[in-house]
Each structure stands twice: as structure tokens, then as C-alpha cells.
């Protein structure tokens, strides 16, 4: 299947930069639709889940749009999902903001908490430490920089894979005051803390890599 014949739905649940995501995915070569429709989201070759703002508000909006059900059903069937920024954070077990704890989608164990750095939010360009066999960062130099805007992050990766027949997720890290998880590849589920749609040629290559897996 060529890239041009692949259909991506950008999930519109009220908490994401859907237009910039739509433009970036279209430039990367896929057919794109912005939708909150359950059937459209389920039928697409790939689902992109953006996210901006507070963890709790994003989770409330996602559940109101049945996005939690859509993500779960797609992943159960091995159907690709890409989460971006808070769309990545909500894939973890819980988020804590201003002392308020909110349950996430729990696709991975872990807690999203305040970023501990001298300058917060972490806003601007930064490098990443990606695994050597990463498909997400294939063709990209370790010196490439990606655009971040966030005040919260996952500081510890706790998932342990004990089944020898299962591939452990590939975890990418970035340092801003401290190391935090900046991307994850886990079978059909990919996610980035940074914004590939705002990361120039490097972000475009990453989106192309994702589309080629669909």
C-alpha cells in the first residue's frame, strides 16, 4: 500500500492542534481527516491523538468523545495509534497536576508529574536519545532537534517485559533539568512528548516513518 493510499484520522476531542497535525500528516503523504466519529476513527489506517492543556481536561474530553474506547479497541486489534504531547501523557497510568490525580488510559504504567527544571515550561528545541534500532527515528541524525512545549513529563519507565516472545517497548529520552521520556514505540502504539508537526524536516521524517508502518 502506498503512502498516498493510507488514511489517517486526527481525533478531534477538543484538546489538540488538529489543523497543524492535519497539515503535517498530509505533507508526509497520507490522506487525512479530522473527526470525532467512532466509525471513521476505527476504520482509518492510523489514528493520531493530539493533546494540549491539562491532563485532567484532556482525559475528560477524550472520554466524552469515546476516545478512550476508540484507542483501546484499535490497540486490541493491532491498529496503529500515535499520541502527541498530552496525547502521549494520557497513555500512562495517571497524571498529577496541582495535587490533583487523574486516571489515564493506562496503556503503560507510570505517572505524569511536574517537570523539575530551572526553566518551566520546557519550550523550544531539544535533542533526543533514541534507541539505535528505532523505527520512529529511522533516517534521522542523533543531532536532530525537535520542538517541545510542556511543563509535565514521565520521569521513570517502569514497564518490565518478562515474556521472551514479546519485544520490549523502545523508549527515547530527553534532558531538560532532568531526563524524561520523550517518545515510546510499543508495537502499534507510538507516542512523542514533542510536537513532530512543529519540528520541521525532522518531524516530517518521523511522521513519514509512522505512515510507512500503517
Sequence-separated (6 or more) residues with CB below 8 Å from residue 184? 88, 91, 108, 169, 170, 171, 172, 190, 191
Q: What are phi and psi of 56, to 5 degrees?
A: -65, -40
Separation CA 7–CA 36 (nearest Å)? 15
pLDDT at residue 165, as a whole number = 74
pLDDT at residue 76, as a whole number = 97
Sequence-separated (6 or more) residues with CB below 8 Å from residue 32? 7, 8, 9, 10, 22, 25, 26
Which of 85, 107, 150, 185 is catalytic? The answer is: 85
167 to 56, 107, 109, 129, 144: CA distances (angstroms): 31, 15, 17, 19, 26
Which of 122, 150, 176, 195 is catalytic? The answer is: 195
How confident is the model over 156-165, as pLDDT tens digits?
Answer: 999 988 786 7
pLDDT at residue 202, as a whole number = 98
User: Given its phi and psi angles, is residue 119 left (phi above 0), alpha (psi -120 to 50 degrees) or beta?
Assistant: beta
Number of Cβ within a 10 Å radius of residue 156? 11
Is 197 in the active site?
Answer: yes
Is 58 in the active site?
Answer: no
- C-alpha cell recorded at residue 5: 493510499
Is 195 in the active site?
Answer: yes
Separation CA 76–CA 203 (nearest Å)? 27
pLDDT at residue 166, as a whole number = 78
How confident is the model over 82-95, as pLDDT tens digits?
Answer: 999 999 999 999 99
Separation CA 59–CA 140 (nearest Å)? 32
pLDDT at residue 29, as a whole number = 95
Identify the segments of the chain with pLDDT beneath 50: none
pLDDT at residue 2, as a whole number = 59
Amino acid at each position: 500500500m502506498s503512502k498516498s493510499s493510507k488514511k489517517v484520522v486526527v481525533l478531534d476531542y477538543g484538546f489538540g492542534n488538529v489543523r497543524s497535525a492535519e497539515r503535517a500528516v498530509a505533507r508526509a503523504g497520507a490522506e487525512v481527516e479530522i473527526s470525532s466519529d467512532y466509525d471513521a476513527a476505527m476504520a482509518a489506517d492510523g489514528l493520531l491523538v493530539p493533546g494540549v492543556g491539562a491532563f485532567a481536561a484532556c482525559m475528560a474530553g477524550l472520554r466524552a468523545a469515546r476516545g478512550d474506547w476508540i484507542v483501546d479497541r484499535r490497540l486490541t486489534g493491532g491498529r496503529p495509534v500515535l499520541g502527541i504531547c498530552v496525547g502521549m501523557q494520557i497513555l500512562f497510568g495517571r497524571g498529577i497536576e496541582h495535587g490533583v490525580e487523574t486516571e489515564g488510559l493506562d496503556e503503560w504504567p507510570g505517572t505524569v508529574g511536574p517537570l523539575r527544571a530551572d526553566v518551566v515550561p520546557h519550550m523550544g528545541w531539544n535533542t533526543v536519545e533514541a534507541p539505535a534500532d528505532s523505527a520512529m527515528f529511522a533516517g534521522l541524525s542523533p543531532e536532530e532537534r525537535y520542538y517541545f512545549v510542556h511543563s509535565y513529563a514521565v520521569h521513570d519507565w517502569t514497564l518490565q517485559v518478562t515474556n521472551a516472545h514479546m519485544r520490549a517497548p523502545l523508549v527515547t529520552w530527553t534532558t531538560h533539568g532532568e531526563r524524561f521520556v520523550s517518545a515510546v514505540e510499543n508495537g502499534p502504539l507510538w507516542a512523542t512528548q514533542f510536537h513532530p508537526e512543529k519540528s520541521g524536516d525532522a518531524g516530517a521524517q518521523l511522521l513519514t516513518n509512522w505512515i510507512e508502518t500503517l
